[in-house]
Structure 1
Amino acid sequence: MGFSTLQEWLTFQQGINPKEIDLSLERVQSIYSKLQINIPEKNVFLIGGTNGKGTTTSILEQLFHKNGYKTGAFTSPHLNRYNERVRISLSHSSDQDWISAFKIIEGVRDDIPLTYFEFSTLAAFQILSDFGCDAWFIEVGLGGRLDATNIIDPSVSILTNIAMDHEEWLGDSIEEIAQEKVGIAKKNKPLIFGDVVAMSSIEEGCNTRKAELRRKGHEFNAFVDQNQFSFKGANENIKDIFIPKSWGDGESDNLATSLAAMEANAEFFPSKDFLQQVIDDFEMPGRFELHEMNRSWILDVAHNPSAAQNLRQRINRSDLSSDYSMIFSMMKDKQLEPYLHAFKDLVKTWIVCEMETDRSFTVEQIEKKMNNMGFDNVLCATSPLDAIKTLEKNVSISNNVIVSGSFELVGPIREFLLKSQRKI
């Protein structure tokens, strides 16, 4: 293909397979076998789970980077730029990195109808290989068993937690979802499980695949006293790490799961001072990301009930004042009502926003649901930027504002705030 820009390549990929999601390993495996991708023999982490995948990926990535490794991370979706999906030594990949990888994949694709995500996954692996990264951190896209990322054989597989999400694809119960997600377990390799639910499904999945299961509450555990975090593993212990006051239980669990993965990987384990430095510097775009512009803004991509509860916990633990408004939208395959319940007694003014995708709820659908649930003071906006205008026109600057519900909502508002603050 003669495409010269990244956007041309992405537009092309969206038309190859009419299905946005088409869970199968056959297509991606057949092309992967034709590529010259060199994966390290160790230090390869495959990170799955319902929530916390991105945070866990970033914690591990930063631990290895600080210890001198050439790190490569693949995450999805992106907030503002496609280039965010691959990081080399913590820096975003370039357009040319992707274009070069896409050309290689297209050269061996023949007529195999790769999905957009499958194309992205193969290209990411090619980029990490081309850069010679010696520590890989790969975030699962959807589920696990049939996700494109599952074609690799990692040193350690991780399941952060199991909660209700993507039921259309993964099943209608925690147990069914767990059975799909545990599909990333590998023979004779450790699987770290950072949750306590659906344990029988996780244990059965690991036994079937002959994987070594390490469970929170059994082979490792974490303890939080005020703002001090301690980890106890099978052989490694670390005590009294100061964590941010606004961390929720989810963030502490992600840290514990990351440390359990480090212990299982057996390459190195951080000292207390080393870990403290990483935590002190740790930031995660779109995860309780704070901005100040006329008021305090909290940007968080939480988009399912479990993530909403963790976000609410973080807000409760923060030092922000108690008056909140919220800019909100959500994809229509998500559980709208339980998500809204998490904030019903907190948010005084809601601004429901249209998004530029037919996969989202319409403003009318969300407004109707909120009216039926007894919400008051619901305003509507035609776009994320219109939501900002609606907020400034109708809501006192004494109100903090939460922006949450979808990557597709948080991304544009984040870009507006960064440009306004001249940070991009």
Structure 2
Amino acid sequence: MNYQKTLEFLFNQFPSYQIKGGDAFKPGLNRILKLSKLVNNPHENFKSIHIAGTNGKGSCSHMIASILQESGYKVGLFTSPHLKDFRERIKINGVEIPEQNVIDFVEKFSNKAESIQPSFFEYTTIMAFQYFVNEKVDIAVIETGLGGRLDCSNIITPEISVITNIGLDHQQFLGETLAEIAREKAGIIKHRVPVIIGRKQGETCSVFDFFAHQKKTKLSYSESINAIYALDLKGNYQIENSKTVLCTIRNLQQQGWQIPEEAINIGFQNTIKNTGLMGRWTTLQVKPRVICDTGHNEDGVKLIVKQLNNENHENLHIIWGMSNDKDVLKILNHLPKNATYYWCSPNNDRALDTKKLASEALKINLHGECFISVLAAKEKAIQQAKCEDLIFIGGSTFVVAEII
């Protein structure tokens, strides 16, 4: 098989949440443990940092990896979903897993894995873990896929567990309240493994305190961190993420990891260069200014709108598409009324129909035109915008993936 055929096999053989949504969600650790056994339990053979949370996982994961790379460590990075190419999910020192490694893994283990019937995410998680072991990483930053307690990445025992924040997303799987969702995320807290909480929230503190006490572990809230560093990741919301990262780094230093202050400075300033992170308040064009961001749940959209309000511009144009599993009206309610909207639907089975999106938007007086594709919407917005205007593209990871 070549690389393209291998990807087709992966996506067709194993249900992917990125494509199928909830139908592909397979909670529980039994299958992943069986898979891991097939490849000699790689999850037991590398050091790691485990990161969960509703928003900020990707930014925090990449910033931590960048700082550790600048400290001279060989750093694995496992994140999801990908924007352009599957290999973005699995990196070492910012370099994507080679195509041949993906092909070899699938050819070697696909038949053996068939009887286990893993999900796409379970299969790729083990691919990442084995790659990190084979390449002898010093440490790997592992991001949960969905939730925490039953997420297949939760078979690792990390050096530190990190929970960025808790918001309302994926309630059909994780619970309807912040406290219920926090309980699922808190499932990554391990016995005597330090845990970092990014945001102190009234509804979740007691949950995290309970789990930390139960697991006899030290719990730290990153709000206690005061230092502010220069970041290459734009958007004021990254300040909170950087505090979470710094709190994690300070705990690693206490464990004996050699992380110089200069590496922290340079790591924060070179996250994009060191790790290849895309889609976080990314400027695509200057005149008119075109910005995209992958924020797609209620909390993420609130942060986007707050940032938009801080930007200097004349007229605001918003290109917007969504997944069909979101609370559409609740999210749209946060969008500014004084913008010109371009409704679109990304090329994905989970995408919300453009006309349905426009119809919901009309209920709250958001007016716009429907487009057959994200690119068509972008072309029209650029055509209509003046040099001093701002065009924002977002609403879904899949929307951003088509224009970045």
Match of 1:285 in 2: 278
Q: How does 1:272-351 map to 2 (within 5 A)?
A: 272-283=261-272, 284-292=277-285, 294-318=287-311, 320-346=312-338, 348-351=339-342
Looking at structure 2, the residues matched to 42 and 113 of structure 1 have their Cα atoms a distance apart, in angstroms, of 25
1:222 to 217, 222, 225: 225
Amino acid at match of 1:302: G
Amino acid at match of 2:322: M
- Return the letter of the residue paired with 1:307: G
User: 1:42 deviation in Å?
Assistant: 7.1
Q: CA deviation at 1:114?
A: 0.7
* Matched-pair contact (CA < 8 Å) for 1:323–1:400: yes
Residue 7 of structure 1, CA deviation: 4.0
Q: Is the 8 A contact 2:233 2:271 kept in 1?
A: no
Please tell me whether residue 363 in structure 1 is matched to residue 354 in structure 2.
yes
Deviates more, 1:19-28 or 1:152-161: 19-28
The answer to whether the aligner puts 1:128 opposite 2:115 as a matched pair is: no
User: Per the alignment, in what secondary structure is the counterpart of residue 87 of structure 1?
Assistant: strand
What is the Cα deviation at residue 321 of structure 1? Answer: 1.9
Gaps (5+ residues) in structure 1?
224-229, 231-239, 415-424
CA–CA distance in 2 between the matches of 1:89 and 1:194?
24
| Deviation of the 1:62 alpha carbon | 0.5
1:112 is displaced (CA, Å) by 1.1
Instruction: Give the 3-state SS of the residue equivalent to 1:413 in structure 2.
Output: coil
Quick one: which amino acid aligns to residue 203 of structure 1? Answer: D
Report the AA paired with residue 378 of structure 2.
I
Match of 1:209 in 2: 215
Answer yes or no: is 1:260 the counterpart of 2:247: yes
Kindly indicate which of the two structures has a greater share of residues assigned to helix: 2
Structure 2 CA distance, aligned partners of 1:257 and 1:43? 20
Q: Percent sequence identity over matched residues? A: 24
Counterpart Cα distance in 1 of 2:247 and 2:8: 37
Pick the structure with more strand per residue: 1
State whether structure 2 residue 377 is matched by structure 1 residue 387: yes
3-state SS of 1:211 partner = coil
Kept after mapping to 2: 8 A contact 1:53/1:139 = yes
Whether the 8 Å CA contact 1:14–1:116 is kept in 2: the answer is no
Question: Is the Cα contact below 8 Å between 1:312 and 1:343 reproduced in 2?
Answer: yes
- The equivalent of 1:151 in structure 2 is 155
CA apart distance, 1:47? 0.6
Partner of 1:251: 238
1:186 aligned counterpart, secondary structure: coil
Tell me the secondary structure at the aligned position of residue 33 of structure 1.
helix
Shift of 1:257: 1.3
Note the 1:82-231 alignment, pairs <5 A. 82-197=86-201, 198-217=204-223, 221-223=224-226, 230=227
- Can you list the C-alpha shifts for 1:215-258, whole angstroms capped at 9, x where unaligned? 234xxx133xxxxxx1xxxxxxxxx534579532x312211111
Measured after TM superposition, the shift of residue 118 of structure 1 is: 1.0
Q: Which residue of 2 aligns with 1:406?
A: 396
Q: Which has the higher contact order (CA 8 A, sep 6+)?
A: 2
1:203 deviates by 1.8
Unaligned runs of 5+ in 2: none
Structure 1 length as normaliser, TM-score? 0.85
> Residues 11 and 385 (structure 1 numbering): CA distance in 2 closer, same or farther, change over 3 Å?
farther
Determine if contact 2:288/2:385 at 8 Å carries over to the other structure.
no
Does the CA contact (< 8 Å) of 1:6 and 1:98 recur in 2? no
Instruction: Report the alpha carbon displacement of residue 397 of structure 1 after superposing the two structures with TM.
Output: 4.5
| Whole-angstrom CA distance in 1 between matches of 2:256 and 2:55 | 26
Contact 2:233 2:281 in 1 (8 A): no
Q: Which amino acid aligns with 1:173?
A: T
Using the TM superposition, give the Cα deviation of residue 369 of structure 1 relative to its aligned residue in structure 2, in angstroms: 1.0
* Letter of the 1:385 counterpart: L
TM-score (norm 2): 0.89
Asked whether the equivalents of residues 344 and 374 of structure 2 are also in contact (C-alpha less than 8 Å), the reply is yes
1:272 and 1:134, CA in 2 relative to 1: closer, same or farther beyond 3 A? closer
Selected match of 2:76 from 59, 72, 79: 72
CA distance in 2 between counterparts of 1:43 and 1:261 reads 15
Match in the other structure for 1:235: none
How many Å separate the matches in 2 of 1:355 and 1:270?
41
SS, match of residue 46 in structure 1: strand
Q: CA deviation at 1:129?
A: 1.4
Residue-pair matches, total? 390
Over aligned residue pairs, what C-alpha RMSD do you find?
A: 2.3
Q: Distance in 1 between matches of 2:401 and 2:93?
A: 23
